[in-house]
Structure 1
Amino acid sequence: MTTDSSRYRALPQLRRAVRRLAHTHRLPVELRARLVVSVTAVARPELAAGRYVSLESSVENRSEDRPGLLVVACRSPQREEALRATGLPLPAEVLADGAAVWRAPLPRRPTALPAGPSARRATATGALDRPGGNGSPVTGQPPEADAVEEELLEVMARADTLASEHRRLERELAETNRGVLALYVQLEERDEKLRKAHGKTLRELEDALRPPPLHIDGVELAVHYEPAGTDAPTGGDLYDWFVLPDGTVHITVVDALGHGVTSTRSALNVTHAVRTLALEGHPLESIVGRTDEILLPFDRDLMATVLLARLDPATGVLLLANGSHPPALLLRADGSAEYLELPGRGIGFPLSGSERLLRTELGPDDLLVLYTDGLTESRRDPREGEARLVETALRHAALPLAEIPGAIAEDMHTVILHPDDTLAMAVRMPHAPRP
């Protein structure tokens, strides 16, 4: 490996030397331009400070089957610190002695000079062999002006190519965006159809779980239900109502442990068992315990709270049986309110059953509110929830009955810290049939 070294104190002289070196080794025009600009950028601060720079060149790793690398090193012997060589168009390596070094791959075989006007002038006028020289016909190297023009033409050609490629990519991107937009519209239409079908299925499922509406002279009933999450449209909070052969209205409110379809199945088992026992004529006070006995062999993990109500439309007599369920709320027409507390243990609890019956009378325009704990325990303190329920129910008691359960649930759930399935039911015996 042979190393050539020269000293320079002016940028024009240094540029000519780098161009001559690159041209001698037939580096591509773009690579030559990058090398010239990079060496100039590194040397400029040194020359401006009155220090000279040295330029060294050598060829490394050349063999019969490999052209090797052109190694160009720029040094500033008078500088104590390493040269600054960052942000260059041709990256450089800074050695331990402070020199900036470039390694440029050499062409595999000699490349013919371009046949353009600058190349023809280069052949006629020659090399950059001396400061201010116009070239030498001996070496066939172009003068500096032609070399610079050649580099500029290369840069412009490269810019034109990139601009053309940019326009092509923009067209392809626009076409892709149109395709993506069309696909997005199709997906939105499909999702809308799926949402409608899903919503219809859910409504049908909810309707299948609900008992048919009751139309009884002298009694109004309304219910509101919302699951803990929109991803599980059903839960463990269910209700059932029907008219017994003696004309009394039976109401069941169930809250099975858990959420989703599994708890729905448990709640359905409870409501079906209660309905069967009630229609068979079992006493109301025994139904909770008897339901536990029936279901225990089939589902030992089942746990549910139950509230049973019997209302005689002719007399207004109300009977309640409770299995660990939140107490019913009774609002009197005069504005007074009371919780109908009744001890008992739910399905799956030890010694399941209602300890006794609670008997009271529902007067004209009295409002009975039955609910599950998701209504009153959405915040930290259940007692605070019960107090708020009284205030909320009194505030909405004058509404049409069909609107009362939903209005109560909306007010009670302004803040939800503990989401749970929620069921609210309202029962009223109006003074006279409402239109």
Structure 2
Amino acid sequence: MNRRRPSRSATADELLTTLQHLTARARKEVELHQARVELAEALQRGMLPATLPALPGLQTAARYTPARSGLDIGGDWYDGFLLPDGSLGFAIGDVQGHDVEAAAFMGQIRIGMRAAASTAADPGEVVGRTNDLLLSVDSNLFATCTFLRFDPRTWELHSARAGHVPAVWLSAEGHSGIAEDEGGVPLGILAEQHYPVTRRRLTTAGAVVLVTDGVVEGPSFPIDAGLEQVREQVAALPHATADELADEVIRAARRTGHQDDAAVLVLRHDAAPGPG
């Protein structure tokens, strides 16, 4: 029996048509991915502050690097703003995920925390109200964060932590450490949570360095080791400016081989002024 073989021209036409369909589909997928990346980047740019507040005797600086996977964007954020009583509010946090949803959720947290801080002076209450607000929007995401309130009249720093990485502190004399302050559960998990507040009067000059876990944790690099690395970095620069410290600390993220996005927030402060 003789089998009829397709002509060469017919086979070539079919292959060309198939290739055209595949190329068109690939182009659409690339365009869709690019659109999602651009949307995520626009969300991130719009949600991170262009500047941070500062006062005589208080320098502030922050840095952010994107994730190395997903959309190269994520939910890490930092913030700083003036409060109605003249105090300054600062926040840093990390939302689960590296996509548009994470970036949008980060924006909700930032806006919600600013609103809560405008009516509540206690950082624990600010974090608690933000937590309840996020639960009310019924998202399946959660976030960690630290919120600080700096009072320029008393030179006190009050802070509350929701499952977030501990801060690193530095004194101008070269002493340093990791502030293992008591904290509560991450935001968006359980309602009506209590968040303990740590109060410090900044009696000596120094710095407070806050990071997200993308700075101190990598695929084979545990958080404890990363925090110790940051402590060593800042201890070696007791007289560095806030910008210099932020630049140095963000480099730690490259050393851990991180795949998460990463943020750093630095408060560089003088000693509390004496009486009168």
1:345 aligns with 2:155: no
Which of 377, 392, 416 aligns to 2:233? It is: 392
Q: How does 1:200-219 map to 2 (within 5 A)?
A: 206-213=44-51, 214-219=53-58
Say if 1:205 and 1:289 are closer, same or farther in 2 by CA, change over 3 A: closer
What is the TM-score normalised by the length of structure 1?
0.49
Deviation at 1:395, TM superposition (A): 2.2
1:399 Cα deviation from its structure 2 partner: 2.7
Task: Give RMSD over aligned pairs.
Answer: 2.7
1:201 deviation in Å? 9.3
Q: Aligned residue for 2:264?
A: 424
Change (3 A) 1:351 1:360: same
Match in the other structure for 1:318 = 157
Count how many residue pairs are aligned between Structure 1 and Structure 2: 234
Secondary structure of the corresponding residue to residue 343 of structure 1:
coil
Query: Is 1:276 matched up with 2:107?
Result: no
Unaligned 5+ runs, structure 1: 1-198
CA contact (8 A) 2:127 2:195 kept: no
Q: Distance in 1 between matches of 2:271 and 2:158?
A: 21
Taking the TM superposition and a 5 Å limit, the aligned residue runs for 1:252-401 are 252-281=91-120, 283-340=122-179, 341-350=181-190, 353-378=193-218, 379-401=220-242
Q: Distance in 2 between matches of 1:203 and 1:364?
A: 40
- The 3 A distance-change label for structure 1 pair 336 and 307 is same
Deviations 1:226-257 (A, max 9, x none): 01128735311011111112111101112111
Please identify the structure whose Cα radius of gyration is greater.
Answer: 1
C-alpha displacement at 1:365, in angstroms? 3.1
Q: Given residue 243 of structure 1, which amino acid in structure 2 is its aligned partner?
A: L
Distance 1:241 1:321, change over 3 A: same
Does the Cα contact within 8 Å between 1:254 and 1:271 map onto a contact in 2?
no
Superposed, 1:131-210 pairs within 5 Å as 206-210=44-48
Deviation at 1:306, TM superposition (A): 1.3
* Cα distance between partner residues in 1 of 2:256 and 2:163: 25
Q: Distance in 1 between matches of 2:56 and 2:237?
A: 23
SS at match of 2:57: coil
Name the SS of the counterpart of 2:200 in structure 1. Answer: strand
Shift of residue 367, structure 1, vs aligned partner: 0.7
1:203 Cα deviation after fit:
7.9
Tell which has more relative contact order, 1 or 2 (C-alpha 8 A, sep 6+).
Answer: 2
C-alpha contact (below 8 Å) 1:257/1:303 kept by paired residues: yes
Partner-residue secondary structure (3-state), 2:101: helix
Q: CA separation of 1:399/1:230 partners in 2, compared to 1, >3 Å: closer, same or farther?
A: farther
Using the TM superposition, give the Cα deviation of residue 221 of structure 1 relative to its aligned residue in structure 2, in angstroms: 0.5
TM-score when scaled to structure 2? 0.76
Secondary structure, in 3 states, of the residue corresponding to 1:236? coil
